[in-house]
Each structure stands twice: as C-alpha cells, then as structure tokens.
Amino acid sequence: MSDQREPEGIVLTEAQKRSRRQRSIAIALALGVLVLLFFAVTIVKGPAVLNRPL
C-alpha cells in the first residue's frame, strides 16, 4: 500500500495559486501603507492628534 494519497478537497491550479499570492501581496502592501499613514499623521500632529473637529 502506498503512502501517497490523493489530496482531498479543493486543489488549486497554478493560475489560482499565482493570482491568490498576487492578491495577498497587494493586501499586505495596502495594510502597510495604512499603518505608515497613521504613523506619519500621528508624528505630524503630535499631541494634537486627539483634537479633531466634531
């Protein structure tokens, strides 16, 4: 009896894996930009970061 079993469930094709990886990188970059943006604005505003109109 062989140890090699057929993978169960959904197996992604190469194209699906590639596009998923691309999308994951894009999401990571977008989140990185968001973090940097909040960091930069916090530095720019200093303690005034808590003073917002309304």
- In the list 7, 10, 46, 47, the residue contacting another protein (rule: CB under 8 A) is 10
Residue from 22, 25, 4, 5 nearest 14 by CA: 22
Which residue in 12, 28, 32, 35 binds another protein (CB under 8 A)? 12
Residue 9 phi, psi dihedral angles, 5° rounding: 75, -155
Phi, psi of 19, deg, nearest 5: -70, -35
- Is residue 44 a contact point for another protein (CB under 8 A)? yes
For binding to another protein (CB under 8 A), which residues are involved? 8, 10, 12-13, 15-16, 19-20, 22-23, 26, 34, 37-38, 40-41, 44, 52-54
